[in-house]
Structure 1
Amino acid sequence: VGEINSLLPQRGGDQIRHVIREIDDRLSGFVRGQAIVCLLLGAWYATGLSLIGLNYGLAVGLGAGLLSIIPFVGNIVGLATSLAIALTQFDGWLNPALVVAVFASGNFLEGNFVTPKIVGDRVGLHPVWLLFAVMAGSTMLGVTGALLAVPVAATVGVIVRFVVQKYRESELFSDTAATEGAPGKAEADHNTASAKTCVDSGPANDG
């Protein structure tokens, strides 16, 4: 940290440090939020599989939740393992179907509610932008892209907000706002002058 500070310019160094600290906070929030999501998923899977009566259901569910730190991996590995156990343990298709339902519901809740809310709040991203980032990352780079999408989007968001803030504080923004307000001001001045002329000419006409 000291070496990084020594490399920062004297002018504007505090602003750069502020941006770096905010990025660090967002990334730390992502890690904490993702850990909470994994715990919730592990509890959901473990509870569902245990209620079905699956052998090793508790361990498989918790393991699937832990692996969910990597997008799609926890769900796929957990589902495949649970189905393999269910097909050898139970007769018929009811219990294997229930296993599929447990993981399908967990995946739905995680993707549409849990991750957007918990992780999105901690990284400062709207749930819609969070889902868009994950979808775009997974489309371009697969699992790696989905894993990196949220941290990258959070970092970009911090930088964009900083740039917008500096722009609003700049003379360029002030000049633009003043220019846009000029026609309205000119019209108001014209109306005021016209009204004054009418008032001044009133007594003269009466005379």
Structure 2
Amino acid sequence: MIESNMEQTQTRRVRGHILFAFAVALGLMLAWRLRSVLELVYVSALFAVVLMPIVQRIMLLRIRGWSPSRPVAIVALVAGVFLALTLFLVIALPPVLRDLQHFGQDLPQRLPGLLDKLKRVPMANKIGVDSLAERAEAMAAGFARYVVDAAPELLGKVFDVVTAFILCIYFMLEGEFAYYYFLSLFRDGTRERLARTLMAAEQRMSKWLLGQGALMLTLGLTSTLVFAVLHVRYFVLLGVLMGLFNIIPVAGGVMTILLASGVAALDSWTKMAGVLIFYLIYTQVENGFLVPKIMRSSVNLVGLAVLIALLAGSTLAGVVGALVAVPTAALVAVLMDEYLVQSDMKALEGSD
């Protein structure tokens, strides 16, 4: 009788494992088929998490004894975002597009003059200036074709952007219900620990995004102003690129300053020297004052982690993946600190 019960129990376990394996396979197949939808949901939820502290701060405002509710705070935040986008589209975007168009038109014509200057530099013949010119012209032509060919695809992404925006608003309005339902799937002790960890991750992601946004804005405005004073061509475009690529540690700054110095060299070596001197001074100010002041130690994301996250995110999901790569890296870092690093340290302490 006992052996029969043990056999039945073993049979149930085998059946359960088989059903679980089929369920996992079915779930993975369904997730793969719905990967575009899941990507939109994840991006929307992540932005909702990052923006919720701003909504909560708006809710703490008091106007003659009245405090805005969550819907009112979200409407105020959306209105602020729309106002910022409108100002950007009206004020900043037209000069950027104009500079981009002029840059594409002037580059093939100005390359010969720049190459003549390079040939006068000692040892220039050993770096293959002529072959470098051919490659640069081919890259310029290829970039122009890419911009034209990619325009319809970019326009097709408008629907995804609108959908993600609507989902983000819904997550900010009703995301707490889904969050608490997710926590209810865990036991009490595990639930409390996970809730604390996710709260720390939320604060870390929000601080990083706000801090990085402040650094990007500072570099973009400063470089635009300095390039304008130096009379560098396409200074608006170069300033915007400097600010945007500042999200990539070290490599982003190197790429943009090489581009800016190269454009400045089209006119004179003096302008090129001015651009390089500006970037050297700004790097010292940023590393010595701005980063400690804005980012602080609580963010604690090293440059290598940011760079790897950006590479992985852009490879997996293009621009959208790069956009959410670093907040995701912050989330993963907090989870690893809580469930891997601390567990290992406790194990080592126990062995001692």
What is the TM-score with the length of structure 2 in the denominator? 0.37
Partner of 1:102: 278
Partner of 2:194: 16
Q: Runs of at least 4 residues of structure 1 off by over 4 A? A: 141-145
Written as runs of structure 1 = structure 2, the 5 A alignment for 1:57-68 is 57-68=235-246
Partner of 1:33: 211
Unaligned runs of 5+ in 1: 168-207
Partner of 1:171: none
Written as runs of structure 1 = structure 2, the 5 A alignment for 1:174-189 is none
Q: Which amino acid aligns with 2:330?
A: P
Bigger radius of gyration: 1
Counterparts of 1:153 and 1:37 in 2: how far apart (Å)?
23
Partner of 1:85: 263
Partner of 1:134: 303
Partner of 2:250: 72
Counterparts of 2:306 and 2:191 in 1: how far apart (Å)?
36
Offset at residue 151 of structure 1 (A): 3.0
- Inter-CA distance 12–18: structure 2 relative to 1 (3 Å threshold): same
Q: Is the 8 A contact 1:63 1:78 kept in 2?
A: yes
Offset at residue 101 of structure 1 (A): 0.9
Q: Which amino acid aligns with 1:35?
A: G
> Bigger shift: 27-36 or 108-117?
108-117
Counterparts of 2:331 and 2:280 in 1: how far apart (Å)?
28
Partner of 2:8: none
Counterparts of 2:296 and 2:333 in 1: how far apart (Å)?
9
Offset at residue 82 of structure 1 (A): 1.4
Encode CA deviations 1:144-176: one digit per residue, 9 max, x unaligned: 59x86x83797279749xx7xxx9xxxxxxxxx
Q: Which amino acid aligns with 2:277?
A: A
2:228 paired residue among 26, 50, 72: 50
Partner of 1:155: 334
- Inter-CA distance 134–85: structure 2 relative to 1 (3 Å threshold): closer
Counterparts of 1:31 and 1:17 in 2: how far apart (Å)?
21
Q: Is the 8 A contact 1:33 1:122 kept in 2?
A: no
Identity of aligned residues (%): 19
**3-state SS of paired residue (1:96):** helix
- Inter-CA distance 38–122: structure 2 relative to 1 (3 Å threshold): farther
Q: Is the 8 A contact 1:55 1:85 kept in 2?
A: yes
- Inter-CA distance 50–122: structure 2 relative to 1 (3 Å threshold): farther
Offset at residue 8 of structure 1 (A): 2.0
What is the TM-score with the length of structure 1 in the denominator? 0.59
